[in-house]
Amino acid sequence: MGKTAVSCQDLQKHYEMGEVIVKALRGATFDVPEGSLVVLLGPSGSGKTTLLNIIGGLDTPTSGTVFVDGQEVSKLVEPELTQYRRGKVGFIFQFFNLVPTLTAEENVALVGELAGNADEAADLLERVGLGERLEYYPAELSGGEQQRVAIARALIKRPYLLLADEPTGNLDYETGLMVLQLIRDVSDESDLTVLMVTHNAAIGQMADIVISLRSGHVEDIRQNESPLPPSELRW
């Protein structure tokens, strides 16, 4: 076992909804080895997106600790959290979150400017199979193409950690498989640590590690000795 990329210890997250306290996370504890592709699996309301947001610095825990690449993310406050998100983490969302008035290349380059490598936008879009779509606007792209732009946008930061929240949730089956293959390729080629949230158990078969959540608890952690290629997934 190599270096630990992400370590979560006894993570709790409580939300106040009027007079009711909702416990989204109830003591989540696990480690993620560097360079692995991990699926956070669970039904709606299991706490998986809350967990991803805390690891990504988009939310803070009520208690417990999160370490990413040896840095204690759980004790960071702004502006340190912003620096952490910009420097360490690439995000892929279910609904793409592209800027509609910018072309594919401009969407990727916008994030690249913060990292000082905006000139790599075209090369990255070529890498995700969109070399012929640089000047297209999001509305002119299919859902799968928009998600590939979003992946290129995440990668231009050269992140330490790639976080994907239901990246196939808004795509049809065939397009979803293409996006999953791209995520698998990126993880393998760049030795990039990937955490991917899904409610789809079949997607877990492509992961190196599957962490199952239910009602805010880590229910099971399973290592896949022989992950399936995305092309062999069925649901």
Structure tokens, 50: 């809350």
Sort 135 into a burial class: Cβ within 10 Å, 0-12 / 13-18 / 19+.
Answer: exposed
Range of the domain at 212: 4-232
Say yes or no to pLDDT of 216 above 60.
Answer: yes
CATH number of the domain at 56, please: 3.40.50.300
pLDDT tens for each residue of 66-104: 999 999 999 999 999 999 998 899 999 888 889 999 999
Cβ neighbours of 130 (radius 10 Å) = 22
Q: Which amino acid is at 36?
A: S
Q: Which residues of 190-215 are buried (b: 16+ CB within 10 A; e: fewer)?
A: eebbbbbbbeeeebbbbbbbbbbbbe
Say yes or no to pLDDT of 228 above 70.
Answer: yes
**What is the tally of structural domains in the chain?**
1
pLDDT for 96 equals 87
pLDDT tens for each residue of 9-23: 999 999 998 899 999
pLDDT for 114 equals 81
pLDDT tens for each residue of 127-143: 899 999 999 999 999 99
Query: H or E segment at 48?
Result: helix 48-55
This prediction has a pTM of 0.92
